[in-house]
Structure 1
Amino acid sequence: MNGLAISPESCPALVLNADYRPLSYYPLSLWSWQDAIKAVFLDRVNIVSQYDRAVRSPSFEFRLPSVVALKSYVKPARYPAFTRFNVFLRDRFTCQYCGTREELTFDHLIPRSRGGQTTWENVVTACAPCNLRKGGKMPDVAKMHPSRTPDRPTVYELHSNGRLFPPNYLHESWLDYLYWDTELQP
């Protein structure tokens, strides 16, 4: 710890399902240190790994959990909610027309003005300039087609895409649980 005091707020716990897989990858399933300790005392989780940091009271000391696993398996939903963030994640935060990752918004392939619905199959990630250029035109008229046909992803597909965008902070005790299912390099 190099003599520096580490704030408990900088010690979130990675939350694993009962099968020791993260509940989600993106956003990463994290609990505050308070929620993790509460779950321990309510006997809802097992502590898998701990930080060097402890919290204390006059009569008690408790090392903060860095990884916890739920005692009861939570069955993940097969399909994710239709949200702007999940559309971006499905499309890997990339404009489906030009490939940029700047100024992202979303575009209706069949414009709403022409009866297009706001659904997985009709919405793609687009940068603001491409969205403006396409406007209310159909893809053939605008000569703009997405790089991949939009569809409703599974939760597994979004988790897989989420692994491509690791968070800014990864505690070393989390690594075995985040990347255990990726192919090892020879």
Structure 2
Amino acid sequence: MQVLDRAPSGWPALVLNADFRPLSYYPLSVWPWQDVVKAVFLERVEVISTYEQEVRSPSFAMRLPSVVCLKEYVAQDRPPAFTRFNVFLRDGFACAYCRRAEDLTFDHVIPRSRGGRTSWGNIVTACSRCNLAKGGRTPEEARMSLLRRPARPTAWELQEQGRRFPPNHLHQSWVDYLYWDVELDP
């Protein structure tokens, strides 16, 4: 098969769960066109919307899907992994002390030197300035207030948080499925 006019990476498809919600908001659930075409042939997805662009072989032509929906629902109930990205996402990509969004790093609320663990309940996003000011002290000792106590988020909480950070590229056919419950302007 051959794609014309644009690099293959330029034709991703938004992947929706069987309930027509994206599998993930952040990072947005998109598949490269090759995986989507394969899923269509294996009858794992329904094509909801297509691009104008086609893929062709000597005996076949198909418009590239821009939005697909899984035929079987994928449960999203597993707890989120404790990763750098997920901690930043939980904290809204902002410092837990001052809300600045520049030069972000991590801070152990209870310092490791005092037995603080590297866990959801003890790690927060901090800007370099606040992290340096706090040093090896607790927030109380440093006279700094946490804007929110750290806790393990649910998968649903991370998805809701991710919806606040739209991706750089949104194809027009995706918009209805990403923001269908956003309040409309009067």
Scaled by the length of structure 2, the TM-score of the pair is 0.94
Give 4+ residue runs of structure 1 displaced > 4 Å after superposition.
none
Aligned-pair distance for 1:82?
1.2
Q: Residues 1-186 of structure 1 correspond to what in structure 2 (within 5 A)?
A: 5-186=5-186
Distance 2:87 2:98 in 1: 16
Distance (whole Å) between structure 2 residues aligned to residue 74 and residue 84 of structure 1: 25
Counterparts of 1:15 and 1:153, CA distance in 2 = 23
1:50-102, Cα deviation, whole Å (9 max, x unpaired): 00111111221111110010000000025311111111001100011121111
Measured in 1, the distance between the counterparts of 2:96 and 2:46 equals 42
Verify the 8 A CA contact 1:50 1:66 in the aligned structure 2.
Answer: yes
Superposition deviation, residue 36 in structure 1:
0.5
* SS of match in other structure, 1:142: coil
- The count of residues paired between Structure 1 and Structure 2 equals 183
Residue 5 of structure 1: how far off its partner (Å) = 2.2
Q: TM-score, normalised by structure 1?
A: 0.94
Provide, for residues 118-152 of structure 1, a one-character-per-residue CA deviation record: whole Å limited to 9, x for no partner.
11111110011211111111111111121111111
AA in 2 matched with 1:60: F
Measured in 2, the distance between the counterparts of 1:76 and 1:182 equals 22
Aligned-residue sequence identity (percent) comes to: 66
Other structure's SS at 1:130 match: helix
Q: Secondary structure at the match of 1:56?
A: strand
Unmatched 5+ stretches in structure 2 = none
Contact 1:6 1:53 (8 Å CA) reproduced: no
Unpaired runs of 5+ residues, structure 1, are none
2:100 alignment partner AA: T
Q: Indicate if the aligned counterparts of 1:106 and 1:123 stay in contact, CA closer than 8 A.
A: yes
